[in-house]
Structure 1
Amino acid sequence: MLEVGPRKLSPQAPLVLFGGTFDPVHRAHISAARAVSKVLHGAPVHLLPNAVPPHRPQPMADGEQRLAMLRLACKRYPELVVDDWELRQDGPSYSLNTLRHFRQQNPGRPLVFMIGADSFNSLHLWHQWQDYTTLCHLAVVPRPDCALAPDQVQAAFPESDAEQLMRQPFGLRLMLKRPFLDVSATAIREALEKKGDCPALDPAVSAHIRRQHLYNVATLNSSTNHEAP
């Protein structure tokens, strides 16, 4: 089920896809997604939690819990769309399959795949990575101290500005200068297990984690029992 915000946009407005485990979703995810939307004149950003990440450990929280946390984190931002498409598919959540699906659904629309600089730098190691050039643009979000991508990757997606990117459906690269994706989900989970909270999380997400006892968070104490559901 797709959860679309209230704002109506042109069918030719860019569509941004942001996949990940979101285990849990944190402030850097939200600020990066909003930054990409803003530079693309309010384009919707679909946040797609993976069902079965093919190249990393499996999420600690199940799909429904990660969807619930995303809904809470995105609630105030109509440009952010919580999308469960990958969770409804069988097998590993390959980005290539997701891009092919959304390209088929939006033949002439600018389709933007949002990734961190570390992922862009290793794109040449991804399965059939050259196919991405005829499916989507890239919006690359910076990470601290990240090396430059290989020349072949940079050449495959020529750097452009937002205006040019919005005039064609695929094949260009937008390099954001900020915000940095400098938050570690592993560190967040460790903080939750030890302290029961983490400042990198939206308060509503933190409250949900405590209520549901996710990430080995201890049983609620009397001061949190009175939080609104």
Structure 2
Amino acid sequence: MARFVAEASRPRRIAMLGGTFDPVHLGHLRSAVELQEALGLDHLHMVPAARSPLRDSPQIAPEERLALLRLGIGDTPGLVADAREFGRSGPSYTADTLAELRDAYGEAARLIMVLGHDAFMRLPEWRDPYRLFELANLVVIDRPDHEAPSPQALAELLSGREVDGVADLMASPHGHLLRLTLPSRMAISATEIRRRLAEGESVRYLLPEAVESHLLAHGLYRSRSRPR
């Protein structure tokens, strides 16, 4: 009984995993499930960017990417396909999304922004990166085989923020950073999936079956030069 009381009284643990999801694939979804398990999350919001300031524009419409994400998530407990960035004009800034989630869940919630290693290395280029730490904790999905030193601007941004474990991360609603290695580390590339679809090659076992069926049925990412 005491365990259930403690769980009911602890602050909620909410994470945001953003990206273009162009298209969502099994690497995204497996990482989301493993993040839930590792961090003890109540909800993980998967937030497709309408237009990323640091990446090329997605190949298909936001509504299609959202539909694919919903198909991919299916009935997985705790995962949320979050369309909030589609309602804004201009580029999708993560700080604005975190501010909305902070307002929704309250000041005590442990709000976590999850990002991959490549995005993490470019963190100083983001708009107002210090504000991210004012709103949330950050979790970096680490790459154990990557040992390049951090750029000076990134090292300055992270000064005094890194913690060693989940308990230390969850001790505060915001302000810390944890590097986390996930068990599966599925090396699936959305770029390669788009190429395969454009060339009519198989994408079996790279995508959830429902996502694959929808893509093929609607001819998404197919090369216009190929007959339909």
Q: Would the TM-score normalized by the shorter structure come out above 0.5?
A: yes
- TM-score, normalisation: structure 2: 0.84
In structure 2, the residue matched to 1:211 is: 217
| Matched position secondary structure for 2:47 | strand
Shift of 1:76: 3.5
Q: Which runs of 4+ in 1 moved over 3 A?
A: 143-146, 217-220
In structure 2, the residue matched to 1:100 is: 99
Q: 1:70 to 1:219 in 2, by over 3 A?
A: farther
Q: 1:219 to 1:79 in 2, by over 3 A?
A: farther
Structure 1: 5+ residue runs without aligned partners? 1-8, 221-229
Structure 1 contact 156–171 (Cα < 8 Å) conserved: no
What CA distance in whole angstroms lies between the structure 1 residues aligned with 2:134 and 2:219? 43
What CA distance in whole angstroms lies between the structure 2 residues aligned with 1:10 and 1:45? 19
Write out per-residue CA displacement over residues 20-74 of structure 1, whole angstroms, 9 at most, x where no aligned residue. 1101001111111111111122431100111111121111111111111111111
Q: 1:67 to 1:216 in 2, by over 3 A?
A: same
- TM-score, normalisation: structure 1: 0.84
In structure 1, the residue matched to 2:3 is: none
What CA distance in whole angstroms lies between the structure 1 residues aligned with 2:89 and 2:186? 29
Write out per-residue CA displacement over residues 63-104 of structure 1, whole angstroms, 9 at most, x where no aligned residue. 111111111111131121111001111211011111122222
In structure 2, the residue matched to 1:165 is: 169
Amino acid at match of 2:150: A
Q: 1:195 to 1:11 in 2, by over 3 A?
A: farther
Q: 1:98 to 1:49 in 2, by over 3 A?
A: same
Shift of 1:111: 0.5
Between stretches 172-181 and 128-137, larger displacement belongs to 172-181
Structure 2: 5+ residue runs without aligned partners? 1-7
What CA distance in whole angstroms lies between the structure 2 residues aligned with 1:208 and 1:10? 42
Shift of 1:219: 6.7
In structure 2, the residue matched to 1:140 is: 140
Structure 2 contact 136–173 (Cα < 8 Å) conserved: yes
In structure 2, the residue matched to 1:44 is: 43
| Matched position secondary structure for 2:72 | helix
Q: Please tell me the root mean square deviation across aligned C-alpha atoms, in Å.
A: 2.1
Matched, 1:202 2:203: no
Q: How does 1:89-128 map to 2 (within 5 A)?
A: 89-105=88-104, 106-128=106-128
Which of the numbers 174, 179, 192 marks the counterpart of 1:175? 179
Structure 1 contact 52–58 (Cα < 8 Å) conserved: yes
Structure with more helix by fraction: 2
Q: 1:53 to 1:181 in 2, by over 3 A?
A: farther
Amino acid at match of 2:176: L
Q: How does 1:182-197 map to 2 (within 5 A)?
A: 182-197=187-202
Q: 1:148 to 1:159 in 2, by over 3 A?
A: farther
Q: How many residues align?
A: 212
What CA distance in whole angstroms lies between the structure 1 residues aligned with 2:188 and 2:160? 28
What CA distance in whole angstroms lies between the structure 1 residues aligned with 2:90 and 2:208? 31
- Identity percentage of aligned residues: 33
